[in-house]
Each structure stands twice: as structure tokens, then as C-alpha cells.
Chain A
């Protein structure tokens, strides 16, 4: 009796010790991978007070990412004119993927084609996994996804992940913008230009109430308007 009790206690102790060790190990692993994940988190700012509506960004994106005519990864939306002749002005805003941290497109994708790149936070599409069901297109609250007529897969802005970024360059739209209205960079790097810009300016993001945690920031144009 004594013996079996002791053996039972010993066994439990060993089990507990082992379990704790294992948990410790897994926590260490998790911490390590979390650390690795956390190094880069890409985001973009569109400074609407600098944008002149030249659409060089649209042109550059189409060229670099081989986006066919009729569909687009980025669109500059224009409202206006405001004011009286000859002092009229327009407002421009950028319509493109917001690289949501909690991305509805990724959450609904049945094949895993829509995914968030763990190393950069970029929301992207694995074209070869996409079956074209269009759930993601329906789920995206920002209506920026489309079926690419050439690849027949869902497509959208991927911060030039497979093109310019892979070659160590700035995204095509950012490089093309003549007024430097677009700033791209790493939110985790406190010395990056984007962090400085975000610190120095009041910014807005679209539809934050949905909980998607978008990473496309806008700096509103100074002369604000009320559109009825």
C-alpha cells in the first residue's frame, strides 16, 4: 500500500515536472516566434493634403504588377470641385487593400489562398490555391478585391510583395508619386519615415468600427468639406 502510494506520488511528480518543462519550452518557442513575427509590420500612409490626383500611382501599379486593363489594385477617388472659380480644388482618396490585421477576406477563404504573411503582416493571395469562389470579394468591407482575368484568381494590392518589395525596392505606387503623398514602411521600426509621419500628423483609417484593424492611414486634406 505504502509502496504503491509512493510510486503514485513519484509518478505524478515526474509527470508534473515533465508537463511544466514542456509548457515552459512551448512558451519559450512561442515567445521566440512572436518575436520573429513582430519585427516587421508594413503599413502605408496616403497624405491627401499632398495628393494632386495625377494617378501616377495607378499607372505604376498596373505596369509593375502586370494588372490587366479593366481591373485595378489601386484607385484614386476624386470628389469636387469645391470652392468658386478660379480657386477651386478637389479631394483625392486612395482605394486599395487596407491590409487588415483581422482580415475578413482571410477569415472566409476556404482554401487558405487568402493569407496574412506572418513576417510582414501583408495580406496576400496564393493564386494557385485560389478556386475563384469569390467569398473574399463578398467579405471585404472595403471592396478592393477582384478576380484577375488573366490568372482567374482573386487579386488586390499586396504592397508589391512579389514584385518591387521582393527586389528590395519601395512599392511601385510610392516610388512613382511625384508629391511624396504616399509613405510606406515598417510600423515596428520607430526610426522609419512612416512612424515619424504617423507621430507628426493626425490620421484616419476607414471603417475601424468593424474591428478589421486596417493599416492604410490617411492624412486628411486641410481645407475640409461637408458633402451633403
Chain B
């Protein structure tokens, strides 16, 4: 019995060691990722590597997601960015529109005009990853993205 326990503790210890290594290697030097209050729990799913995380932008998690409030209790006022499981559309859009005016979005790409107020920005854009999948798309990838929603639809 004690032998089995001992074996398990070794296994768990090894896993913990491995996990801490991988966490350390994924850690980024960006200021935003040292926000202790959030990173205590969201070390693995919260690190911000993209453009919006740059130190010069002086952004924090709450700049977009809002103040902690009752989180992690539900319901809470945090803004979740996603097409399927996100906060209400208007709530998501309002956050992005604080900086991104319709005029600038229109100039950046025509597709913004036809999707305005219809889908959240997060339907296409990903901010946490090091590069936004929308940057530098090949025409093929771009058209496939269109089809992922529009396929078979009678417009």
C-alpha cells in the first residue's frame, strides 16, 4: 500500500515539475502578463502575446474584459469575446469600438462594413495569440474563412 502511494507521489511530482517548466517557458516578458490578480488563475489560458499586449499600449486585462466584479462567481460583468460563447454582441462590440472607429475599420478592410454590428470582432480576430490570424492571410485562407459561415447560405 505504502509502496503504491510512494510511486504515485513520484509520478505527480514529475508531472508538476514538467508543468512548471512548460509554464515558465510560455511566460512572456510583457508587463500585461504580470498582472498578479488575473495571472494567479489564468497563467495558462490568459497570457497575452499579441499586438494589444505590448507594453507601449499600456493595457491591462481589464482594459478589454472589464473589472473583476463577482468573477469567478456567475453571473458577472466580465466581457467574453467569442462568436459562440461570448457576451452579448453589443457588449463585445462596444469594447472594440472604444478605439476602432467604423471609419478606420472601413479603410482597413471592406468586409468590416458588411459585418458591422452583425458578428463580434472575435469571430475572425484573435488577440491573445502572438499573431492575429487575420494578418497576412493568403487569398485561399481568406476565402475559406468566408465559407466557414456563408457555405450553402442563400443570401
Q: Please state if B102 and A50 are interface contacts (CB–CB under 8 Å).
A: no
CA distance A86 to B144 in the complex (A): 24
Is A59 in contact with chain B by the CB < 8 A criterion? yes
Q: Please state if B113 and A54 are interface contacts (CB–CB under 8 Å).
A: no
Q: What are the residues of chain A within 8 A of B144 when measuring CB–CB?
A: 56
Is A132 in contact with chain B by the CB < 8 A criterion? no
Chain A residue nearest in CB terms to B141: A59
CA distance A179 to B106 in the complex (A): 24
How many Å from the CB of B55 to the closest CB on chain A? 34
Is B152 in contact with chain A by the CB < 8 A criterion? yes
Is A52 in contact with chain B by the CB < 8 A criterion? yes
Q: What are the residues of chain A within 8 A of B139 when measuring CB–CB?
A: 55, 58-59
Given contacts A49-B155, A59-B143, contact A88 B113 (CB under 8 A): yes
**B contacts with A: majority SS:** helix
Q: Please state if A52 and B113 are interface contacts (CB–CB under 8 Å).
A: no
CA distance A181 to B155 in the complex (A): 9
CA distance A32 to B118 in the complex (A): 58
CA distance A116 to B69 in the complex (A): 72
CA distance A50 to B153 in the complex (A): 8
CA distance A52 to B106 in the complex (A): 17
Chain A residue nearest in CB terms to B115: A86
How many Å from the CB of A122 to the closest CB on chain B? 26
Could you say which of A50, A54, A81, A86 contacts B147, with CB atoms under 8 Å apart?
A54
CA distance A180 to B147 in the complex (A): 11
CA distance A10 to B19 in the complex (A): 111
Is B6 in contact with chain A by the CB < 8 A criterion? no
Q: Which A residues between 46 and 64 are near B, CB-CB below 8 angstroms? A: 49-52, 54-56, 58-59, 63
Q: What are the residues of chain B within 8 A of A59 when measuring CB–CB?
A: 139-140, 143
Is A178 in contact with chain B by the CB < 8 A criterion? yes
CA distance A51 to B114 in the complex (A): 13
Q: Please state if A90 and B116 are interface contacts (CB–CB under 8 Å).
A: no
Is A89 in contact with chain B by the CB < 8 A criterion? yes
Given contacts A55-B139, A56-B147, A178-B147, contact A88 B114 (CB under 8 A): yes
Q: Please state if A56 and B114 are interface contacts (CB–CB under 8 Å).
A: no
Q: What are the residues of chain B within 8 A of A55 when measuring CB–CB?
A: 139, 142-143
28 contacts between A and B (CB under 8 A): A49-B155, A50-B154, A50-B155, A51-B155, A52-B146, A52-B155, A54-B142, A54-B146, A54-B150, A58-B139, A80-B113, A81-B110, A81-B113, A81-B114, A85-B106, A85-B116, A86-B117, A88-B114, A88-B116, A89-B114, A90-B110, A178-B151, A179-B150, A179-B151, A179-B152, A179-B154, A179-B155, A181-B155
List 7 additional A-B contacts (Cβ < 8 Å) besides A56-B144, A80-B110, A178-B150.
A49-B155, A52-B150, A54-B150, A55-B143, A59-B139, A176-B143, A179-B150
